Amino acid sequence: MAYDPKLLKTGTDVAAIVGIGETDFGADYAAARARKPPTTDMFGYAAKGLKLALEDAGLKASDIDGMVAALVPWMRVEEVLGLDLQFSWGAFWVHEAMTLAIDAISSGRAECVAIIYGNAYRSSGRQFGGPNAVASEAVLHYYWYRPWGFTSQGAFDSVVVQRYMEKYGLKHEEIGMVPIAQRAWASLNPRAIMRNPITLEDYLRSPFVAAPLRLLDYCLINDGGVTLIVTSLDRAKRLKNHPPIVVKGVGFGEDNADMAQFRPKLNFSRKQMTRAAQEAYQMAGVGPEDISAFYYYDNFSGELFYMLENCGYCQEGRAAEFIRTKGIGPGGKFPVNTSGGMLSEAYMHGWNAQAEMVRQLRGEAGPRQVPNARYCHFMLNQNAKAGSVIYGRMS
């Protein structure tokens, strides 16, 4: 039978997020910047996140019978954290880990799955560009273009933004709307690493790293851990600490043709992102008009423009106008990355966005609360891969 996203019904409304745990991003960042020796590694950050998520959910470690490890190596984390599991697997991206978790729960392999993420990128000095950039055969383009100096992830996005500027007339000032709005959200978030509001003047003074992208368009690099606890809807209803937040939809999208030549990216990742967004909408039974707040994988701010178009929030080439007229910051009609995102809160590979979506849907986001948040949508787009998840309140 040919692929049909309408058939993706088995995963929706079977699992709910009942616990979130995040480490103290600000304190760990400050310690690393002060060059204090690290006090723990990625497994330690994973453990802190798990402990906080268990407390949040009102569960014990012995209640966890399934685990999906994200980024942190799964066999070792299971050992270090002393987990006794029936189901265990590793994933990297949010939509991958969430798919494994809901499949484990819906198939009966596990009832209570901890999605455990931890990283120590800042204290371990991980490099994303230059002679010591992380690379492997899986991502050939991270080192293939060394002779011309083109190795950094930011540069790979800057060429897409430059093409978008040429094609659709996007201006530097308009790119600035994104980091400025996210910093305004972060100023309302005590967990955020960068909390001082920034102005357009600050943005335009921010140095170019790989033009057209500036330092303020780049995400942070910091250590930390995030855990989400996902369980069956039945069990979720019996837990009393918080209202359960239902996993409504998960979408995948791929476009690998000539990926190392950046062809999908230079096409604004339209194929892969459209696929991922549509799959998540179909599975959730909602559309862009139902979404209360939007979250994205903001390793670089320029991506938001073509992403909004690819998700069906606005027409091709109209994202800057959409952002300007709707407003994406506090008080705006289209809230985006309400915790500050990876630009201003913390770089947790999109996992901190998941925690914030849960807080918004619980109604626990304090001064950042989006009134009557019903559905939150998260989108990521990396190289040839897009992923999309939608969470909602229990109806």
Partner 1 sequence: MSEIKVRPAPARGMFDGPLWEAVDKGEFRLQRCSECGFVRYPPAGVCPRCLSENCKWDLMSGRGRVMSWCVFYRQYFPEIPPPNLVVLAELEEGPIIVADIPGGDASQLKLDLPVRLVFEPVKWNDGTEGKIFHWSLAK
For residues 228 and 212, what is the distance between their CA atoms, to the nearest angstrom? Answer: 36
Minimum CB–partner distance for residue 130 and partner 1 (Å): 4
In the sheet with 112-119, reading across from the earlier edge strand, the strands are 87-91, 66-70, 112-119, 224-232, 15-22, 245-254, 385-393, 375-382, 293-296
Contact between 210 and partner 1 (CB under 8 A)?
Answer: yes
Residues paired with residue 180 on neighbouring β-strands, in sequence order:
none
In eight-state DSSP terms, residue 391 is E
Closer of 40 and 162 to partner 1 (Cβ):
162
In the chain, the amino acid numbered 29 is Y
Nearer to partner 1, 129 or 341 (CB): 129
Q: Is 155 a residue that touches partner 1 (CB under 8 A)?
A: yes
Q: Which stretch binds partner 1 (CB under 8 A): 29-37, 39-47, 259-267, 326-334?
A: 259-267
Residues 6+ apart with CB under 8 A from 268: 160, 163, 164, 306, 309, 310
Name which of 234, 250, 222 is nearest 68 in CA terms.
250
Q: Are 135 and 143 in contact (CB under 8 A)?
A: yes
Q: Could you say whether residue 125 binds partner 1 (CB under 8 A)?
A: no
By CB under 8 A, residue 138 contacts partner 1: no
Taking CB under 8 A as the binding criterion, the range among 26-34, 64-72, 210-218, 309-317 that sits at the site for partner 1 is: 210-218
Give yes or no for residue 221 binding partner 1 (CB under 8 A).
no
Based on the shown chain and the rule CB under 8 A, indicate whether residue 306 belongs to the binding site for partner 1. Answer: no
Q: Does 3 bind partner 1 (CB under 8 A)?
A: no
Using rule CB under 8 A, residue 370 touches partner 1: no
Smaller CB separation from partner 1, 246 or 343: 343
Q: How far is the CB of 23 from partner 1 (least distance, A)?
A: 29
Q: Does 166 bind partner 1 (CB under 8 A)?
A: yes
Beta strands 66-70 and 87-91, pairing class: parallel
224 in contact with partner 1 (CB under 8 A): no
The whole-angstrom separation of Cα 172 and Cα 158 is 12
Binding status of residue 162 toward partner 1 by CB under 8 A: yes
Residue for token pair 């055969």? 137
140 binds partner 1 (CB under 8 A): yes
- DSSP β-ladder status, 293-296 and 245-254: unpaired
**Which of 9, 33, 36, 167 is the binder for partner 1 (CB under 8 A)?**
167
Per rule CB under 8 A, is residue 289 in the interface with partner 1? no
Q: At what angle do helices 303-310 and 153-168 cross, to 10 degrees?
A: 60
Q: Least distance in Å: CB of 217 to partner 1?
A: 12
Nearer residue to partner 1 within complex by CB, 142 or 351: 142
Report the C-alpha gap between 152 and 160 in whole angstroms: 13
Minimum CB distance to partner 1 smaller for 263 or for 324: 263
Distance in angstroms (rounded) separating the CA atoms of residues 292 and 243: 17
Is position 33 an interface residue for partner 1 (rule: CB under 8 A)?
Answer: no
Indicate which single residue of 82, 131, 331, 371 sits in contact with partner 1 (rule: CB under 8 A): 131
How many residues belong to the site for partner 1 (CB under 8 A)? Answer: 36
Which residue, 89 or 164, is less far from partner 1 as judged by CB?
Answer: 164
Cβ-based nearer residue to partner 1, 209 or 233: 209
Under the binding rule (CB under 8 A), the answer on residue 299 touching partner 1 is no
For 242, which DSSP code? S
Contacts to partner 1 from residues 168-207, by CB under 8 A? 207
Task: Name the residue nearer to partner 1 (CB basis): 64 or 213.
Answer: 213
Span from 139-147, 225-233, 306-314, 383-391 in contact with partner 1 (CB under 8 A): 139-147
Contacts of 193 (CB under 8 A, 6+ apart): 25, 26, 29, 186, 220, 222, 344, 345, 346
The 10 Å Cβ neighbour count of residue 209 is 17
- Which tokens go with 84? 């006794």
Name the residue with tokens 């949010």: 94
Buried b (16+ CB within 10 A) or exposed e, 337-375: bbbbbbbbbbbbbbbbbbbbbbbbbbeebeebbbeebeb
Of 68-76, 255-263, 284-292, 366-374, the segment contacting partner 1 by CB under 8 A is 255-263
- Minimum CB distance to partner 1, residue 144 (Å): 5
Interface residue list for partner 1 (CB under 8 A): 129-131, 140, 143-152, 155, 158-160, 162-163, 166-167, 207-213, 257-258, 260-263, 266
